[in-house]
Amino acid sequence: MGAKFLLVLVVVATVSSNCRVKGALDRGFYDDSCPPFEVIVSGTVQSFLDRDPSVAPGLLRMLFHDAFVGGLDGSPLLNSSGGSDPPERLATPNLSLHGFDLIDAIKSKLEGICPGIVSCADILATAARDAITLSGGPFWRLKFGRRDGRRSFFQGALKDLPSPFENTTALLKKFRNRGFSAEEMVVLQGGGHSIGVGHCPFFRDRYSNFSGTAQPDPALNPTHAIFLKASCDPNGNAAVANDHGSAHLLDNHYFLNIQKGKGLFNSDQEFYSDSRTRKSIDKYAASSEKFYLDFIKAMEKMSELGVLTGSHGSIRTHCAIAK
Ligand code: HEM
């Protein structure tokens, strides 16, 4: 009976995985229509990364900012909002996004081979996944079939993207609004901030004049405060590695830094003083296996957030131009 039941389950699972459900994301979405899709994406990401490792954090942050505002539909790539607002990419939290040239390079190669087939949203999701893997992070299989949005959400980017000056309660609310638990927020933030940089204006108050006290943030490790002060130029506009000591590797090292008071942003460090988030930091600092497993799950979820499929949206020819 057990064996028979298992056989039925396997057959059902096999049959259903072979049926393409219209409108659903699917691992084999481009198998017939654009077989070299993933090879082209990973090859292009690799060649850009060889020249400039900062491409990886650029793509990861762009994916996050896209997914959180109107769903993962390639909207930050658009160069016009189509209305009276400026485009989403000009909203303050998006001003330091980068990696647009890489997405354009992939798109142009794909348009040459399979015109009008692959969406900019699928390119972004896949390029970000590959950038993570090529930066020492995990690999996971993605589902495809996202379509591109026609709108860009300037106001949404101002309202929905997290700010490093917000407290844990406000950040928890923003993530909860997108369906993420406190633990998922922590694993995403720690993974995201284990590569890339932060510009001094986002944290200089922490080493100089925290909350108007003319003193450093008491939660900031004093040695790290000296390091940050020395790293920021006199105007305080330089960029400093998010993850001190492991700047280019996507790993669980940032959680160890937070435990030592070496988090870059006040918002990150506050997660360690808040009982709703502290235990997750300890968990991920103690185990890179747990970190990678949970990071993959949360990234899969983020990569499928509010996606357009089936007959919704479009497939853009140029990622910057809606059609
Ligand atoms: C928890 C709330 C978060 C806040 C308040 C926040 C804030 C910031 C800020 C202020 C920067 C520096 C930007 C700059 O100076 O140019 C930054 C960088 C970055 N963030 Fe976040 N972030 C959050 C969560 C996340 C998440 C969930 C991810 C991705 C999973 C992520 C990925 C990144 C990456 C990769 C960078 C480096 C970008 C680069 O080097 O170009 N962040 N974040």
Closest CA to 60 of 246, 253, 193: 193
Closest CA to 189 of 166, 159, 205: 166
Q: What is the CATH number of the domain that holds 245?
A: 1.10.420.10
Cα–chain-centroid distance for residue 148?
18
Instruction: Note the helical H segments in 239-287.
Output: 253-259, 266-270, 278-286
Rounded to the nearest angstrom, the distance between the alpha carbon of 185 and the centre of ligand 1 is: 12
Q: What is the pLDDT of residue 15?
A: 37
Asked if residue 202 belongs to a domain, the reply is yes
193 φ/ψ angles, rounded to the nearest 5 degrees: -90, 10
Q: What is the CATH number of the domain that holds 120?
A: 1.10.520.10
Asked if residue 168 belongs to a domain, the reply is no
Pair (37, 147) in one structural domain: yes
CA gap 134, 247 in Å, rounded:
14
> Could you give the 3-state DSSP secondary structure of residue 150?
coil
* DSSP code at position 175: H
Pair (85, 201) in one structural domain: no
Q: Mutate which of 95, 134, 189 to test ligand 1's pocket (most atoms within 8 Å of Cβ)?
A: 189
* 199 in active site: no
Pair (124, 194) in one structural domain: no
Closest CA to 252 of 137, 172, 162: 137
CA gap 153, 159 in Å, rounded:
10
Which residues have any ligand 1 atom within 6 Å of their CB? 54, 57-58, 60-61, 64, 96, 98, 162-164, 171, 188-189, 191-193, 195-199, 202, 242, 265, 267
Place of tokens 């039925």: 8
> Could you give the 3-state DSSP secondary structure of residue 102?
helix
pLDDT tens string for the chain (323 positions)?
333 332 333 333 333 333 344 579 999 999 999 999 999 999 999 999 999 999 999 999 999 999 999 999 999 999 998 889 999 999 999 999 999 999 999 999 999 999 999 999 999 999 999 999 999 999 999 999 999 999 999 999 999 999 999 999 999 999 999 999 999 999 999 999 999 999 999 999 999 999 999 999 999 999 999 999 999 977 778 999 999 999 999 999 999 999 999 999 999 999 999 999 999 999 999 999 999 999 999 999 999 999 999 999 999 999 999 98
Q: Considering its fold, how many domains does the chain have in total?
A: 2
Rounded to the nearest angstrom, the distance between the alpha carbon of 12 and the centre of ligand 1 is: 42
Say if residues 96 and 64 touch (Cβ distance below 8 Å): no
Q: Mutate which of 54, 60, 61, 195 to test ligand 1's pocket (most atoms within 8 Å of Cβ)?
A: 61
Say if residues 44 and 118 touch (Cβ distance below 8 Å): no
Residues 6 or more apart whose CB falls under 8 angstroms from that of 72 comprise 63, 66, 121, 124, 125, 146, 302, 303, 304, 305, 306, 307
Pair (248, 206) in one structural domain: yes
Provide the phi-psi class of 23: left if phi over 0, else alpha when psi is between -120 and 50, else beta. left
The parent domain of residue 283 ranges over: 179-301
Query: Residue 190 class from Cβ within 10 Å (0-12 exposed, 13-18 middle, 19+ buried)?
Result: buried
Pair (147, 222) in one structural domain: no
Structure tokens at 116: 């009008």
124 φ/ψ angles, rounded to the nearest 5 degrees: -65, -45
Say if residues 307 and 121 touch (Cβ distance below 8 Å): yes
Pair (135, 203) in one structural domain: no
* DSSP code at position 162: -
Q: What is the pLDDT of residue 5?
A: 34
Rounded to the nearest angstrom, the distance between the alpha carbon of 59 and the centre of ligand 1 is: 11
Asked if residue 71 belongs to a domain, the reply is yes
Pair (100, 207) in one structural domain: no
Asked if residue 320 belongs to a domain, the reply is no
Structure tokens at 263: 């988090």
